[in-house]
Amino acid sequence: MTVHATNITPNMAMLGREVLLPCTLIAQPPHDAPVSTTFVADFRQTLCDAHSHAHEAIQATAKTEKRYFDK
């Protein structure tokens, strides 16, 4: 999976989860969490966490680029 400058994959940013790859359809990944009955609340929190992490990474990258530009 491709990780961009935001340090998260596009799937995590848009879907709130990583998508299954063909190899994970054959054998279940070891880190799968059990299905929750509070899916909407968990999904909303996951998306908020992913977007805030991406926002922090973008801000850090912008500061670095500004520092190089100012030199």
pLDDT tens-digit readout, 45-68: 888 888 888 888 889 999 999 999
Best CA proximity match to 46, nearest among 16, 19, 20: 16
Total-model pTM:
0.49
pLDDT reported for residue 9: 79
Query: Residue 36 pLDDT > 70, yes or no?
Result: no
CA atoms within 13 A on the CB side of 51: 9
Mean pLDDT of 16-44: 65
Burial class (CB in 10 A: 0-12, 13-18, 19+), 13: middle
CA atoms within 13 A on the CB side of 23: 3
